[in-house]
Chain A
Amino acid sequence: MFTFDKVSKIYPNTSTALSEVSFKVKPKEFISFVGHSGAGKTTLLKMILAEEYPSAGEVLFENINIHKIRRDLIPEYRRRIGTIFQDFRLLPAKTAYENVAFAMEVAGKADDVIESDVPEVLELVGLADKMWNFPHQLSGGEQQRVAIARAIINQPDVLVADEPTGNLDPINTYDIVQILKKINDLGTTVILATHNKGVVDFLGRRVITMEKGRVLRDDLTGKYSL
Chain B
Amino acid sequence: MSFTAVFVSAIALFIVGAVIIGNAFLAASLTEIKDKVDVNVYFLTTASEADILNLKKRLDSLPEIKSVEYVNREEALRRFVARNSGNSLLLQSLEELGENPLGATFNIKANEPGQYASIADFLDKGTKVTMDQSEPSIIDRVNYSDNKIVIERLKALLAGADKLGFAIGLTLIIMAALVTASTIRLAIYNFRQEISVMRLVGAGNNFIRGPFIISGTLYGLMGAILAGILLYPASFWVTVATATFFGGIDLTIYYVSNLGQIFMVLLLSGILLGMVSSYLAVRRYLSI
Contacts and interface: CB of A to CB of B under 8 A. Distances in A.
A41 interface: no
Contacts of A166: none
A101 to B, nearest CB: 11
Interface in A90-109: 90-92, 102-103, 106-108
A89 B200 contact: yes
A150 interface: yes
B175 interface: no
Contact of A102 (B199, B201, B205, B288): B201
A89 B199 CA distance: 12
A205 interface: no
Contact of A72 (B197, B198, B203, B205): B205
A74 B200 CA distance: 11
Contacts of A91: 193-194, 197
A75 interface: yes
A216 to B, nearest CB: 30
B160 interface: no
A89 B202 contact: no
B220 to A, nearest CB: 26
Contact of A106 (B193, B196, B201, B288): B201
B189 interface: no
Interface in B169-206: 193-194, 196-205
Contacts of A74: 288
Contacts of B200: 78, 83, 89
A75 B194 contact: no
Contact of A78 (B196, B199, B207): B199
A75 B203 CA distance: 6
B250 to A, nearest CB: 53
Interface residues of A, number: 22
B197 A75 contact: no
A67 interface: no
Contact of A89 (B196, B204, B205, B288): B196
A106 B205 contact: no
Contact of B198 (A76, A90, A106): A106
A91 B194 CA distance: 7
A79 B198 CA distance: 11
A154 interface: yes
Contacts of A83: 200
Nearest to A103: B201
B203 A89 contact: no
B3 to A, nearest CB: 23
A108 B204 CA distance: 9
A89 to B, nearest CB: 6
A103 B204 CA distance: 12
A79 B202 contact: yes
Contacts of A92: 193
Contact of B207 (A71, A80, A106, A150): A106
A200 B136 CA distance: 122
Contacts of B198: 106
Interface string B254-276: 00000000000000000000000
Interface string B67-97: 0000000000000000000000000000000
Contacts of A90: 197
25 contacts: A71-B288, A72-B204, A72-B205, A75-B202, A75-B207, A75-B288, A76-B204, A77-B202, A78-B199, A78-B200, A79-B202, A80-B202, A83-B200, A89-B196, A91-B193, A91-B197, A92-B193, A102-B201, A106-B198, A106-B201, A106-B204, A107-B201, A108-B204, A154-B201, A154-B202
Nearest 5 interchain pairs by C-beta: A79-B202, A78-B202, A106-B203, A103-B201, A75-B204
